[in-house]
């Protein structure tokens, strides 16, 4: 079952993964989830977090900075310097 959940997470969009992660955080913060279920949803939350980080890294790799000349006219693009 954990493998199925992990495969399922890999198919999620960023928006869907972050939405589900927020729901998990709220449930855990509420403190009304039984221990076994808390552990299971925490593990799913970790997988969702990794998915969001992966998708953000992919998006950052595709973002380019637009370069301009002295007059402000676009001259091309260069990789965004992410530090």
* Structure-token pair, residue 6: 């992990």
Domain that holds residue 51: 2-79
pLDDT value, residue 1: 46
Instruction: Name the region of 72 (left: φ>0; alpha: ψ -120 to 50; beta: rest).
Output: left
The pLDDT value given to residue 80: 67
Taking only the tens place, the pLDDT of each residue in 42-72 is 999 999 999 999 999 888 877 777 777 788 7
């Amino acid at each position: 079952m954990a493998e199925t959940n992990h495969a399922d997470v890999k198919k999620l969009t960023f928006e869907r993964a972050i939405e589900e992660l927020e729901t998990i955080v709220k449930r855990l913060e509420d403190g009304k989830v039984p221990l076994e279920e808390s552990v299971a949803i925490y593990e799913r939350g970790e997988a969702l977090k990794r998915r969001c980080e992966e998708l953000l890294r992919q998006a950052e790799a595709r973002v380019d900075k637009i370069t301009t000349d002295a007059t402000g006219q676009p001259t091309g693009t260069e990789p965004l310097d992410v530090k």
